[in-house]
Structure 1
Amino acid sequence: MTNYRLEDLGCGEALRAILREEISDAEIAAIESTIRPFVAIEATVSGSNSPLPWESRFGGRPYLPTGTDYPHIDGKPAPLLAQINFAEVPPLDGFPTSGILQFYVVDKPIWEWNHSWFATADRASMSYGELMELAGAKVLFFPDPILLVEAVTTDFRFLPSFEHSLVPERLDLRFQIKLAPMDAGGLNTWVETLRESEFFAENYDYALRELSDRTSNDALLEEAAHLLYGDGHRLGGYPAFSQSDPRAQLFPLAFGESFPPYDLLFRMVGQPGVNLHDSILYFLIPPADLQSRNFSNVLFYSDR
């Protein structure tokens, strides 16, 4: 396992110097121990009117092999949220290097989604796929996509216009490996030495605010601040939940003591062209399932 340092985030000694003003070297070392790579996703308005069906995208129409049923949620065709072609993604440990992963969401405004699906009384008798649909999402994976236009569906006139689509205009995606530690909430929840430190949460929060105040004339520090806050769309890495971590508080209540560990698979945030407003969408997966390319036990959570 690689041991990363704050300087690996790309901002030299400046970040360490700012954090040292508020937290100890031991606490900084604990933060550094959580640094791991993830895939940052940049989404921009598409520059192509005729993208290939298998290209990565937010929104638009999906790659769908001929004869494959279009996914439905609540009895209606579901809008494509995101399509990831792993042949276009830089390698990330544990993640596929090929295949197409798709995320769909229910066709209704986000404030009408079932945000408390995990509290349903009959959860124990439901499969994870049924729970995903109850939450308003669906995941499909094509491990061996056929890269021939004549082998895929290209006529989607049978679909509605998706008036409530979160991504009304298709966005092209670019991928880049980056490094980041756990966000502040994760550090306070999962790192025992920091959780037990009496003033760490308060001091680290102050250090992050101080960091943000100093980024106006330093692009590298600004990028470091985004990484420490856990901003942006991503594959892998840490979820950086905007409120409490459902894996620590909500899911165990619903699933019991046998609830397995879950890591972040994919996260989407609001930006121009992605109409999430203040919500963040998380798709979580057991690490063992990700290794085996089993996407049938993914859980969906939307944070508001």
Structure 2
Amino acid sequence: MILPAILQSFESQIQETLKPYIKISLKESENISLTNSKVGGHPYWPVNEPYPVSPEHEPLRLLAQINFSEIPQGIEELPTTGLLQFFLASDDLYGMDFDEPATQEGFRVVYHETTEATALDDFSFLDAISYDEFPLGEGLELAMSFDIKEAAMSSETYDFDAHFGEEFRENDDLMEAYYELFSGLEHRIGGYPGFTQFDPRDDDTPFDFLLFQLDSETVGSQEILWGDVGIGNFFINTDDLKQKNFSHVLYNWDCG
């Protein structure tokens, strides 16, 4: 790790926080299937299962899905097979509930052990749902690719001050140099999250694993935009993740 001079005296502290994560890159493609890892588009959905809806009975839109057989190995907590999906409501908060951020009503996290069931192929029921209040542009569908990376604790993580100390936080030059390297602002699975505001978790949080993070980005002619260039995060408890229990997930997004 090559650090700027201002951070070199903190190298051992920074090294202590290093974690592996999976960096997600997005690209336009004409060859994205219902079961591929992707942002947007139509989901794989078993034709005989009820489609996820909001409390107002509006169908939820697919934000993204991750096919674990397509991701590189290296993070032992993650499944090696199956399809994980993230659905959101089309409303002014993108399905988030500030008071109950882990209550899956305006959003849904769904895990399919296999994709062998006959898949739904008629999504015309989604045509009436507006994209005006959704972080993805109309018709957006982007393919994912993955790389294993390693990064230190991001500067807005809830336990940053406990590790580096308040004096570090209060030094603007230190924080600026650190943020340039370890903001955490990118699409990723695992590792440390990024925020444009603050971490919604605290020291007592059970949500210790970054399940999925999607940043704002323009890819070719397609745009992902969380409010005013924000970022969305989904967190889960590590034990729940190992048991493939996705019923208790904290969903958060913020913008500058």
Q: Alignment partner of 2:156: what SS?
A: helix
Aligned-CA RMSD value: 2.3
- The whole-number CA distance in structure 2 between the counterparts of 1:207 and 1:52 is 41
Q: Alignment partner of 1:205: what SS?
A: helix
- The whole-number CA distance in structure 1 between the counterparts of 2:112 and 2:100 is 27
- The whole-number CA distance in structure 1 between the counterparts of 2:99 and 2:196 is 19
Aligned partner of 1:274 among 224, 231, 242? 224
- The whole-number CA distance in structure 1 between the counterparts of 2:65 and 2:163 is 39
Structure showing greater radius of gyration is 1
Aligned to 2:108: 138
- The whole-number CA distance in structure 2 between the counterparts of 1:93 and 1:71 is 29
Aligned to 2:69: 87
Question: Does structure 1 conserve the Cα–Cα contact (< 8 Å) formed by 2:185 and 2:195?
Answer: no
Aligned to 1:235: 189
Aligned to 2:53: 72
In the TM superposition, what whole-angstrom CA distance separates every residue of 1:147-174 from its partner, at most 9, and x where no partner exists? x7xx211121232243214322111111
- The whole-number CA distance in structure 2 between the counterparts of 1:275 and 1:24 is 35
User: 2:35 aligned with 1:54, yes or no?
Assistant: yes
The 3 A distance-change label for structure 1 pair 39 and 114 is closer
Aligned to 2:174: 204
- The whole-number CA distance in structure 2 between the counterparts of 1:113 and 1:158 is 19
Mind listing any 5+ residue stretches in structure 1 that lack a counterpart?
A: 1-5, 7-14, 120-127, 213-224
The number of equivalent residue pairs is 243
What pairs up with 1:1-304 in 2 under 5 angstroms?
Answer: 6=1, 15-16=2-3, 18=4, 21-23=5-7, 25=9, 27-48=10-31, 51-74=32-55, 75-91=57-73, 92-110=75-93, 114-118=96-100, 128=102, 131-133=103-105, 136-146=106-116, 151-164=118-131, 165-167=134-136, 168=138, 169-186=140-157, 189-190=159-160, 192-196=162-166, 198-199=167-168, 201-202=170-171, 203-208=173-178, 225=181, 228-248=182-202, 259-272=205-218, 273-276=223-226, 277-304=228-255
The 3 A distance-change label for structure 1 pair 271 and 162 is farther
Q: Which protein has the bigger helix share?
A: 1
Question: Does structure 2 conserve the Cα–Cα contact (< 8 Å) formed by 1:36 and 1:180?
Answer: yes
Mind listing any 5+ residue stretches in structure 2 that lack a counterpart?
A: none
The 3 A distance-change label for structure 1 pair 260 and 166 is closer
TM-score, length-scaled by structure 2 = 0.85
TM-score, length-scaled by structure 1 = 0.73
- The whole-number CA distance in structure 2 between the counterparts of 1:206 and 1:82 is 32
- The whole-number CA distance in structure 1 between the counterparts of 2:200 and 2:163 is 21
Sequence identity (%): 30
Deviates more, 1:165-174 or 1:289-298: 165-174
The 3 A distance-change label for structure 1 pair 205 and 105 is same
**AA aligned opposite 1:166:** P
Question: Does structure 2 conserve the Cα–Cα contact (< 8 Å) formed by 1:59 and 1:81?
Answer: yes
The 3 A distance-change label for structure 1 pair 152 and 284 is same
